[in-house]
Chain A
């Protein structure tokens, strides 16, 4: 991986999932890495009452020039990192465009509306097909499944960060993200680095 420029300025990255999955953590790691590389970064989070179990998104806006607002305008996402399938589609519906690049973890998390019988969760294969149709490029990364093999679903975060970095869509590499990862997970750094490398491998295979 060589240092590259942003594919667009500002670069609009959305990290989405369900409250409690760790999207704030991912946005922080990516954001901090860019700030250390001399970029302006603005991150807008859904927070608070939707902290657990609700749909959450982090808008990460990266620029060499200026500080952008914490909201990506509709239709203007460049990259969507989806930690949950329907939440990824929710974001594509509002922020997607023909150029958007999507990285998706296909593990569903059912809402109480779905388990309670008041809403339907769509067929997963069809859903992934739709996501691919709406994206210029799609990587399906079985992050939760791989993380569970490692002993905890929480390793899915480091796997997805690895996938995002390994995909080459951001001007970041292992060298720049590594120190930030170390500071974020001082206790479980070895396992998280394994997960991070796993993500790089998955996205490139």
Chain B
């Protein structure tokens, strides 16, 4: 609702964490921003792209995170402040470049990397913690403890990166990135960006940006000099603070969203006078002196952090280096089992950990009420499994894949990838998908399976991938499959958008992040240019798509491509009215008496189709149905009717 370029310094706005980060970049005078969409990071670039023209900056959706980071570094080398943003998986994609970027150093323009982690893997294939990567590659790392800090830290990080001459990283998590809170705005700079790549380097940054014949080990030494300087800066940072009594019964050491949970927990327990909180904002390098100063606040220390015991290990390392005469506190955290080493945390878990350590009982609600409420919910609330939206083309695609594999009869295998269609692992995609790892892995794994003919393997292999993922990471695997003649079908589910993350455009859409028309890269022309057989199918045409897949499975030769082309239903529904009015002809639907075993509601599982228990027949839920009309073709009785709307 609030545009991130609103010129209202001093006012408080309700911003999503990602918008706060974007606003911080704007206040810092960022000139160049690049990203690949990935939950929970997408709104950073999304909101910057929206205001880019007005703000006089450049923002792009890059083909993948690697290119995004490299492009941002290019801008930094030419003196422009630049930002790259990605989810935790993207950090893996970009890590090879990062390991070399820290050696070269950045240009005159501050360069900031934002990583948004997803504890509990709410929208991810894993819940990887990216903090250790900063430590591993020696990248100064900060983590905002609320929405205000998300903005303020981002702004500050550009200055820091320029001062140190190295890339700086901000780590956020879903509960900051996708939560909303108050942010008091600062001023927007009236800065003219002027880009120039300096051929003769300014040696202020210790290492020039171009490759010079300086031994890597020497560059590594200079990197350590930068990290020592970062540590000095962090020692006095106001993003690190202690709140609580001078002598506490327990001290919590925490950072990020867990700082908010820790405060909630201390308040809920009424322990403000007994429990202190050491809140860290600068995480790597650790502000050792600052931490040592506060270690004596309590004999008991609880680490409250999600996923890896990053703070726990780092503080223990500091304690290990204390003189032997120093008192040793008792540590509680992941090692002791007081805090989970997997999944995200919440205030309840922190309340429980503190109560356990201090031997307190906590009862937020009446016991009798609690029993009754829990029992009622348990016995009355049905499961709500994830599924494709009503009218989603992926449901139709998986239906054709399922039927083609069945007709083929050799036990065809589907390898999966990252996107909405990952739900093909479950009932939404009729349990067709067998593997799911990272972006592009489906086609990679298919390459191996498709070469096993000499070992007696004759199962057809289908690799499903979305359109955006195709451009991101699948093209090399397809080339490999053609070059090495691996027998698989690359099934591209082309719904014209990066749908799962919020419909961002990609190279196939012909539109840029900033809304400009551009040259669309045709996936079929690209695949054909590689020599692949390419078939374009409409997944809603169930019969002909099934026949095409079946025929392609029986054909010999290397990798082939089937493009399932149908726009994402949510995108279509935003622009136009439903194409059909769909209803069940209750005369024709014979319910359980039909031999179909409730194919529409029990197997096809479109949420727009429901079962009317009272009359024992299928029914369309008009609130949910998007009017795609595909279910008409699956009913053996012809009882579902579509009329042009």
Contact = CB atoms under 8 A, between A and B. Distances in A.
A139 interface: no
B366 A54 contact: no
A70 B377 contact: no
A62 B489 CA distance: 53
B123 A113 contact: no
Contacts, number: 213
Nearest to B428: A112
Interface in B362-398: 364-366, 369-370, 372-374, 376-378, 380-389
A76 B364 contact: yes
A47 B611 CA distance: 28
Interface stretch (B28-36, B196-204, B259-267): B259-267
B264 A73 contact: yes
Contacts of B378: 93
Contacts of B623: 107, 109, 144, 148, 153
Contacts of A32: 1-2, 14
A115 B178 contact: no
Given A42-B179, A89-B380, A116-B601, A110 B1 contact: no
B40 A48 contact: yes
B520 interface: no
Interface string A95-133: 011100000000101111111111111100001001001
Contacts of A90: 377, 381
Contacts of A114: 382, 610-611
Nearest to B347: A73
A74 B364 contact: yes
A49 B382 contact: no
A94 to B, nearest CB: 7
A73 B382 contact: no
B376 A89 contact: yes
B185 interface: no
Contacts of A40: 181-182
Contact of A70 (B123, B179, B598, B622): B179
Interface residues of B, number: 68
Nearest to A68: B264
Interface string A15-39: 0001010000001100110010010
Given A32-B14, A48-B40, A52-B389, A112 B264 contact: no
Contacts of B621: 109-110
Interface in B170-213: 174-175, 178-182
B384 A53 contact: yes
B389 A134 contact: no
A69 B366 contact: no
A55 interface: yes
Given A32-B1, A47-B39, A93 B376 contact: yes
A44 B175 contact: yes
- From B40, B351, B381, B384, residue with most partner A Cβ within 10 Å: B384
B369 A41 contact: no
A69 B257 contact: yes
B39 A48 contact: yes
Contact of B346 (A67, A71, A110, A148): A71
A134 B365 contact: no
A86 B377 CA distance: 8
A92 interface: yes
Contacts of A28: 1, 14, 180
The 8 closest A-B pairs by CB, nearest first: A93-B377, A48-B123, A69-B260, A119-B382, A75-B364, A75-B365, A70-B179, A111-B384
15 contacts: A32-B14, A38-B12, A44-B175, A46-B122, A47-B39, A47-B174, A52-B388, A52-B389, A53-B387, A53-B607, A55-B384, A70-B175, A92-B377, A130-B380, A148-B622
